Structure formats: structure tokens, C-alpha cells
């Protein structure tokens, strides 16, 4: 376990002099009437940049021009590790939130990050609670919010860029909101906290072409899951061959 968290521990220790930021983030998240969604989101990104500087983490985004210009949408990404949501938020200009496994969301600092963006905590083994979260996300996306969902539901340590199977139910949040689905391919994100090393690490975020409601309206959730899965795996294959310009048109 320590091996898997060596960079995480290094980042925490390297930023102990900034520990005052954690209770401050808690205060900001408890007072959304004082601190706007944009303010809280930008503060999160500021914290991520500090963490990345200490941990020698570099993230490059491709395909931001693919993101819908107006309204809410749901980004569905492959899941590789603890850095995944941070890499997306760092490179996503507009405020967005995330749906996360409740157990993982209680780690120090992770909790503050989730609270700052009004994230949803999902109990993976409580179907009733999961259904309620899906309804809440659908409603908020309908109002214009953006969300990140990892449809694999979890990840295996050191899975490389292998894409785990997607759970079809995850896509119902976007389908009920009749919102665009944005596939997001993460490459080498697993290296941030799963490598037994502190050497410089580079990760990539690929924002693929959105799938409008009109394209998937007659599809079942299982079919939508396969469509997104295939596009993400194809994008990762091109990205690993150093063809980002092809990856982002999948």
C-alpha cells in the first residue's frame, strides 16, 4: 500500500506548510452562498497545480475544442487511479463536478476536493442510493451543470491504459437529461500514484467528440456504454502511437 501511495505521501509532506488550505477549503465548501461555484472550482485547480508542482506531475489536454459550448453535459472517462478526476478538472475550463465512490471520497484532501465542487458520493453496493444519485445528476445536468463519471465504477492498480468494462447504468444520468455525452480518454494517469517512483510523470486527457442526444436517443444504455467504450479504447490506441490529432476525433 505504501508503494502505491509514495508520490501521494511525498506531495502531502511537501505541502505541509500549506496545510491551512484544507480547513479553508472546508469553509469555502460549507458557504456556497458566499463563494461561487467558479471561485471554488478555481481554488481547487490552484490546489491541484501546487500538488503537481511538488509531485512533478504534468498533464496535457487535447480536444478541448470538442467540448459543448453551452448547457450541461456528462463526461464519461476510463478510470485509472486517484489522479483521474484531478487531471480532468485541471484541464477543463468550465466548472464541473464528479461522481465518486463514497469510500474513496473520505480520504484526507480528497474529501475537501469533492466538497468544493459539490460532488456526489455513490454507494456502489446500495442500488437505491445509486438510483437517487443518478436522478440528482440528471436534474443538475438539465440545469446546465457539467459532471465527470467513471462508468467502470472502480479501477485495478497498475492496469496501465487498459480500459475496464463500463457499467451501462452509469449512462442513465445523461440519457434522462437528454444531454450530450462527452467521452474522455485518460492516458498514463495511473502512473501518478501507482508507480514506485518519484520521477517526472506525464499524463494526457483527450476530450473526444461529444455524442448528442439525437445520436443515442433510440439506443439502450448497454449500447451507449459500448459506443463510448469503443471510442475511448480507439482514442487510447492512437494516443499511445503518438497521434493525438487522430485520437481526439474518435
pLDDT in tens, 43-86: 999 999 999 999 999 999 999 999 999 999 999 999 998 899 99
pLDDT at 245: 84
Mean pLDDT of the chain: 92
pLDDT at 194: 82
Q: Place 124 in a pLDDT band, splitting at 50, 70 and 90.
A: confident
Q: Is 2 a residue whose pLDDT tops 60?
A: no
Q: Is 3 a residue whose pLDDT tops 60?
A: no
Structural domain for 55, as ranges: 3-247
Q: Give the span between the Cα atoms of 98 and 180, in whole angstroms.
A: 16
* 160 or 222, higher pLDDT: 222
Residues 173-189: b if buried by 16+ CB within 10 A, e if exposed: bbbebebbbbbbbbbbb
pTM tops 0.85, yes or no: yes
Helix (H) or strand (E) holding 89: helix 84-91
pLDDT at 38: 97
Q: How many domains does the chain have?
A: 1
pLDDT tens digit sequence for 179-203: 999 999 999 999 998 888 888 999 9
Q: Is 151 a residue whose pLDDT tops 90?
A: yes
pLDDT at 93: 97
CATH number at residue 133: 3.40.1130.10
Kindly report the CA angle at 97 between 93 and 100, in degrees rounded to 5? 135
Amino acid at each position: 500500500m505504501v508503494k502505491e501511495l509514495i508520490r501521494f505521501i511525498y506531495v502531502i509532506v511537501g505541502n505541509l506548510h500549506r496545510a491551512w488550505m484544507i480547513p479553508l477549503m472546508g469553509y469555502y465548501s460549507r458557504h456556497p452562498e458566499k463563494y461561487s461555484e467558479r471561485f471554488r472550482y478555481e481554488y481547487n485547480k490552484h490546489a491541484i497545480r501546487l500538488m503537481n508542482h511538488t509531485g512533478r506531475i504534468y498533464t496535457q489536454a487535447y480536444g478541448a475544442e470538442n467540448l459543448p459550448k453551452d448547457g450541461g453535459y456528462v463526461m464519461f472517462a476510463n478510470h485509472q487511479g486517484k489522479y483521474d478526476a484531478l487531471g480532468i478538472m485541471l484541464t477543463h475550463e468550465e466548472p464541473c463536478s464528479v461522481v465518486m465512490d463514497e469510500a474513496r471520497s473520505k480520504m484526507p484532501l480528497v474529501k475537501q476536493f469533492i466538497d468544493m465542487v459539490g460532488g456526489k458520493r455513490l454507494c456502489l453496493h446500495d442500488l437505491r442510493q445509486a438510483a437517487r444519485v443518478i436522478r440528482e445528476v440528471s436534474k443538475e445536468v438539465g440545469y446546465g451543470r457539467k459532471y465527470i463519471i467513471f462508468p467502470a465504477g472502480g479501477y485495478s492498480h497498475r492496469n496501465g491504459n487498459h480500459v475496464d468494462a463500463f457499467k451501462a447504468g452509469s449512462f442513465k444520468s445523461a440519457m434522462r437529461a437528454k444531454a450530450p455525452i462527452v467521452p474522455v480518454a485518460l492516458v498514463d494517469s495511473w502512473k501518478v500514484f501507482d508507480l514506485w517512483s518519484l520521477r517526472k510523470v506525464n499524463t494526457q486527457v483527450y476530450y473526444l467528440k461529444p455524442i448528442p442526444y439525437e445520436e443515442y436517443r433510440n439506443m439502450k444504455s448497454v449500447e451507449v456504454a459500448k459506443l463510448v467504450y469503443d471510442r475511448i479504447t480507439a482514442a487510447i490506441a492512437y494516443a499511445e502511437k503518438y497521434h493525438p490529432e487522430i485520437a481526439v476525433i474518435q
